[in-house]
Amino acid sequence: MTIAGRQRGWLNQETHLKIREEQFHVLARYDLLCPVYCLMPDHMHFLWMGMEMDSDQLNAAQFFRRYVNEVLEESNVRLQGQGFDHVLRGEEQRRSAFESLLFYIVENPVRAGLVDTSHNWPHSGTQVAGYPDLDWRDDDFRERFWKIYGLEIEKRVKHA
């Protein structure tokens, strides 16, 4: 999601936390997980995974954009009219493709010359309901994430 006119000056810890809160509501409402997100000075990346066959990331993104714009209005900026929403299909859903996308997202601040290592960028994270200590920066993140994902899928299958 790109800021209209690529405007800057809105990204700070307070805005980060507000966007994170809005995202949490979207994740709960649309039954999604966010293994990684990264807020950049002029755009944002979010990787969402649906937990149900009818999880709708495109509707979630539309809902999310509305509330993120309300947060951004406090800084006199808005998201550009249309974001780049991409649903992973086929080969893109393989674990290796997921890992590549995660790496691409977290390395954005390094490629932009904002930090030397992605681990030092303060405006990124992970959001999975019930796991507040899960963070993509942790050495055991991938192992923990896939275990949690499996447990969540298993729980849903049992209740179906």
Give the model confidence (pLDDT) of 46-83 as tens digits.
Answer: 999 888 777 788 899 999 999 999 999 999 999 997 65
Sheet with 124-127, side-by-side order of all strands? 44-50, 32-39, 124-127
Give the model confidence (pLDDT) of 85-100 as tens digits.
Answer: 555 555 555 666 788 8
Rounded Cα–Cα distance for residues 62 and 83 (Å): 9
> What mean pLDDT is reported for the chain?
89
Predicted TM-score (pTM) of the model is: 0.89
Q: Sign of the CA dihedral 144, 147, 153, 158?
A: negative
